[in-house]
Structure 1
Amino acid sequence: MTLGSLWLLLARRTRLWMVGGTLAVLAGTALGLLSLTAFVDSGRSEPLALLPSMALSLGGGYAVLFPGISASRCNVRIHRNWRGHPRTGRFLWTLSLAVAVAGLGTCIAAGTVNPLAPGVLVWMFMGVYLALAGWATAIIGASAAARQDQPEPLRAGARVPGR
């Protein structure tokens, strides 16, 4: 099953929410990088400048995550069926966990330098993590639902019903 065929399994409205949320996360991350450069230059954080970045990053991340979760119509076991999931879904799932760990490490390291720095950084990492996790969940869930809808393949020597 290709990524394009999995994309077609998602409902049109789900796809719109996920694409819109991804664009919002990208915009929020870009605004966060702008506020980060202003923070590095002045050493002070502007809370009103962080609000648009926070709203776009977190709002967009959840706009991807919730439809991604709802795309699965069956129980998905991420670790138990790891080899059965598409490579793209496994890659995005692993990448989302790497972004979460890198974000945590970066925020801890930045907090030792300046206690205001984690507040500037956390929204950027969190939005990207939520978006990646949402896309991974949608791909893995859609493929699991497609596998569940297909009839089981015949094994050698198995009897065909009705014959």
Structure 2
Amino acid sequence: MTLGSLWQLFARETKGWMVGGTVSVLAGVAVGLPAVTGFLANGESELSLLLSSLAFSLGGGYAVLFPGIRVGHSTLRILRDWKQHPLSGKVLWILSHAVAVTGLVTCILAGGGNPSLPGLLIWLFMGPYLALTGWATAVLGMAANVRLADSEAGQRDAAARAAGAKATDR
């Protein structure tokens, strides 16, 4: 299973929310970086940049996360089925956690220099973390759904062959 083949299985509205959310997260980070840079240079930052960065980054992250969770609602078992998951989903899952840890460490280190800085940095990491987690969950969940459908189809075929064999024996 490739990422492209799984992408074709998503519903159109799911694709729209995930792509739109990803674009929103990127816009939020792009708007937030000058706000943080301005804070580091002047000791203060423009509130409109901070609020728009917050809205775009977190709103976009959740816009990706919720459809991603909906795709892999009940059939997804991250650790138990790890060897069966597609590589793209594994990479996204690991990358999302790497972003979370990097953000945590950055905020802790930045808090030592200026106690206000972690509050400015948190959504620059939180939005991408939510978006990556949503993408990973969607890819892993869709792959699990495909595996489940394939196994159910195989069971139906086996049952039909067994019923056909019994009918020919009579």
TM beyond 0.5: yes
Which residue in 1 is equivalent to 2:75?
A: 75
- Contact 1:22 1:64 (C-alpha < 8 Å) held by counterparts: yes
Alignment of 1:52-67 (within 5 A): 52-67=52-67
Give the number of equivalent residue pairs.
159
1:105: how far off?
0.4
Q: Which stretches of structure 1, 4 residues or longer, exceed 3 Å deviation after superposition?
A: 45-48, 151-154
* More moved, 26-35 vs 37-46: 37-46
Counterpart Cα distance in 2 of 1:94 and 1:123: 19
Counterpart Cα distance in 2 of 1:137 and 1:128: 14
Which residue in 1 is equivalent to 2:98?
A: 98
Q: Mind listing any 5+ residue stretches in structure 2 that lack a counterpart?
A: 156-160, 166-170
Alignment of 1:129-148 (within 5 A): 129-148=129-148
Greater fraction of residues in helix: 2
Which residue in 2 is equivalent to 1:107?
A: 107
* More moved, 34-43 vs 130-139: 34-43
1:136: how far off?
0.1
Counterpart Cα distance in 2 of 1:47 and 1:109: 23
1:49: how far off?
2.5
1:2: how far off?
1.4
- Contact 1:74 1:145 (C-alpha < 8 Å) held by counterparts: no
Residues 101-122 of structure 1: per-residue CA shift (max 9 Å, x gap)? 1100000100000011101110
Q: Report the AA paired with residue 11 of structure 2.
A: A
1:46: how far off?
3.6
1:73: how far off?
4.8
Which residue in 2 is equivalent to 1:128?
A: 128
- Contact 1:45 1:120 (C-alpha < 8 Å) held by counterparts: no
Residues 111-145 of structure 1: per-residue CA shift (max 9 Å, x gap)? 00001110111011000000000000000000000
Q: Percent identity?
A: 58
Three-state SS of the structure 2 residue aligned to 1:9 is: coil
Q: Report the AA paired with residue 18 of structure 1.
A: M
Q: Mind listing any 5+ residue stretches in structure 1 that lack a counterpart?
A: 155-159
- Contact 2:100 2:126 (C-alpha < 8 Å) held by counterparts: yes
- Contact 1:100 1:125 (C-alpha < 8 Å) held by counterparts: yes
RMSD between aligned residues: 1.7
Which residue in 2 is equivalent to 1:8?
A: 8
- TM-score with structure 2 setting the length: 0.88
Counterpart Cα distance in 2 of 1:23 and 1:129: 14
Three-state SS of the structure 2 residue aligned to 1:123 is: helix
